[in-house]
Structure 1
């Protein structure tokens, strides 16, 4: 837990379970103090089987990390089964979305470190 709290950036992800994050995901973050991630850059990610569950990013994950006063990147990542070419490889269109999120994170880090 200390290693997570001390990292410079969080990239967090969960699978969608009944339209929200999994219980174990939430329980993990319940163990942290409210100020544990203050000003820490965060990219939120989720995977699911249905496109309409993408709202998990804005209605569940983003509020969770705003509670911690983290700097949540505006571009979250939601992946469907169709976004994977194989178990180990993303399709090019989704890889482009990941690259844009990494670029946004890089810009956030430059502002934080400046």
Structure 2
């Protein structure tokens, strides 16, 4: 299997790339996928040229092929003006319109404040739904204060598990046991098998 990570971070080092790497590591730990990272800042000139001349350069063409052939995709963008960056959107604008149809995608974003966390729901999820990708239920947003704080690791693991499950063609499992007062869902087949064993 092949997992492709698209990072739209612009700075070096980049919190966007850091989040991308953590998501990739968590997903690869639950699959046998080979990971390839695409840094969009390295393709910015070729993306612009593609808009003006209609042809992708060598590096951009290789990146587009990698995304098209991937079994799963992790996409991470910094938040610009309460949405994804222009570079991020431009890359997916030059992708063939059916390239992501049915492909499992994990969406993620970074920003300076938690106030922009809804960018996942009002910008990224609709974009990938339009591209007919299968977007995992858990998106990951990391604000400046999230690094090193409780909660981020859990969101990363949950989202990675969901993506790994979709890539493997099975339903992702909840990575924690049920707490007191919560219900544990047991598939009917397992309940029936347990009853038969007890009979």
Structure 1 unmatched ranges of 5 or more: 86-90
Of 93, 96, 107, which residue of structure 2 is paired with 1:44? 107
TM-score for both structures, normalised by structure 2:
0.51
Of residues 48-57 and 11-20 in structure 1, the stretch that sits farther from structure 2 once superposed is 48-57
Cα contact 1:41–1:71 (8 A) shared by 2: yes
Cα contact 1:21–1:60 (8 A) shared by 2: yes
Cα contact 2:100–2:133 (8 A) shared by 1: yes
Cα contact 2:72–2:105 (8 A) shared by 1: yes
Q: Take 1:11 and 1:100, find their aligned partners in 2: how far apart are those partners?
A: 14
| Bigger Rg, which one | 2
Structure 2 unmatched ranges of 5 or more: 1-63, 171-199
What is the root-mean-square deviation in Å for CA atoms of aligned residues? 1.3
Which structure is higher in RCO with an 8 Å CA cutoff and minimum separation 6? 1
Runs of 4+ in 1 over 2 A off after TM superposition: 109-112
Alpha-carbon distance, 1:34 to partner? 1.5
User: What are the within-5 Å matches in structure 2 for residues 1-114 of structure 1?
Assistant: 1-85=64-148, 91-111=149-169
Of residues 46-55 and 12-21 in structure 1, the stretch that sits farther from structure 2 once superposed is 46-55
